């Protein structure tokens, strides 16, 4: 009887040891999300629209995309305006007053939008998120000012939950994170691995497609770290298919209608 007890104990202990020594189950990879569409500079490839115009935002809202991206600069006299390039004609936005640009018309005849006019349109449709790119400014001081004024305007229009911040400036990203700890903030630069983005406390990477093609492991690494992944600017069907297959969270595109159709067809 005593022997039987010892044999059972030995089997039990041995089993425990065996269980402890057995290799861990392979880490289950984090589930791939359904890719969402971000319209790059709005949905402007439509009759009568233009990049970064109010109509491009309205078009994106009507299409029902996840987000509409736009670019923001701060003028010398502290007015935030929506435009991609640093210059309009020969005028450098950062070095001009808003009054000096008041007569500027976009290619479709719309006025140069202020950020405030843009946010007012954004507020009319809560479903389309506003993907707010702050351009890198000439000094950290101006960038800090631009970030602070941006956040204040977003809060004034009660859009904190609808705006996501992106920037090529890591400094600007960190400013947004500091000012709004709960905000979604993505870095555009493409030069930092996901672990570094995690270390800075950002939401995710928003990288050029060539960067992610060259570093495909960054997609899995980002996902394992709980970071989100956006990729730009993906316009060709073959590239769209590739990144949908990778399971990126967002694709930023000049062809939001075509990308929506492709994603819908896969559902």
Residue with tokens 């947004």: 176
CB closer to Mg ion out of 32 and 208: 208
- Among residues 39, 193, 53, 40, the alpha carbon closest in space to that of 113 is found at 53
CB closer to Mg ion out of 133 and 249: 133
CB closer to Mg ion out of 186 and 243: 186
Does 206 help bind Mg ion (rule: CB under 5 A)? no
Interface positions, 51-110, toward Mg ion (CB under 5 A): 71
Distance of CA 261 to the CA centre of its chain: 21
CB closer to Mg ion out of 38 and 248: 38
Of 110, 133, 206, 249, which lies in the binding site for Mg ion, with binding defined by CB under 5 A?
133
Find residue 67's DSSP bridge partners: 38, 129
Assigned token pair, 149: 């004024």
Residue 184 C-beta: closest distance to Mg ion, Å: 16
Angle between helices 170-179 and 140-156 in degrees, nearest 10: 40
In the chain, DSSP assigns E strands to 36-39, 67-74, 80-82, 87-88, 91-92, 129-134, 163-167, 184-187, 204-208, 228-232, 250-253
CB closer to Mg ion out of 150 and 221: 150
| Number of residue whose CB is nearest Mg ion | 133
Residue 122 C-beta: closest distance to Mg ion, Å: 16
What sign does the dihedral 98-104-88-49 (CA atoms) show? positive
Contact region with Mg ion (CB under 5 A), list: 75-83, 91-99, 129-137, 146-154: 129-137
Helices (H), 215-254: 217-224, 237-246
Residue 52 C-beta: closest distance to Mg ion, Å: 8
CB closer to Mg ion out of 206 and 221: 206
Binding footprint of Mg ion, residue count (CB under 5 A): 2
Rule CB under 5 A: which residues touch Mg ion?
71, 133
């Amino acid at each position: 009887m005593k022997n039987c007890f010892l044999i059972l104990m030995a089997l039990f202990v041995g089993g425990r040891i065996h269980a402890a020594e057995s290799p861990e189950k392979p880490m289950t990879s984090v589930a791939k999300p359904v890719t969402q569409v971000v319209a790059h500079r709005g949905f402007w490839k439509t009759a009568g629209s233009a990049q970064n115009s109010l109509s491009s935002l309205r078009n994106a809202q009507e299409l029902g995309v996840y987000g509409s991206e736009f670019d923001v600069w701060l003028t010398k006299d502290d007015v935030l305006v929506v435009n991609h390039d640093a210059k309009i004609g020969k005028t450098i936005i950062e070095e001009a007053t808003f009054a000096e640009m008041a007569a500027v018309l976009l290619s479709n005849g719309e006025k140069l939008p202020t950020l405030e006019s843009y946010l007012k349109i954004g507020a009319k449709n809560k479903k389309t998120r506003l993907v707010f790119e702050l351009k890198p400014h000439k000094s950290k001081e101006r960038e800090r000012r631009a970030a602070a004024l941006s956040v204040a305007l977003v809060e004034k229009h009660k859009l904190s939950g609808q705006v996501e911040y992106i920037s090529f400036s890591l400094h600007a990203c960190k400013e947004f994170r500091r000012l709004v700890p709960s905000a979604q903030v993505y870095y555009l630069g493409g030069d930092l691995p996901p672990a570094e983005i995690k270390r800075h406390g950002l939401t995710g990477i928003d990288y050029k497609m060539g960067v992610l093609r060259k570093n495909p492991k960054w997609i899995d690494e980002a996902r394992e770290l709980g970071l989100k992944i956006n990729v730009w600017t993906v316009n060709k069907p073959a590239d769209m298919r590739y990144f949908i297959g990778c399971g990126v969270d967002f694709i930023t595109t000049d062809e939001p209608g075509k990308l929506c159709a492709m994603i819908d067809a896969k559902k």
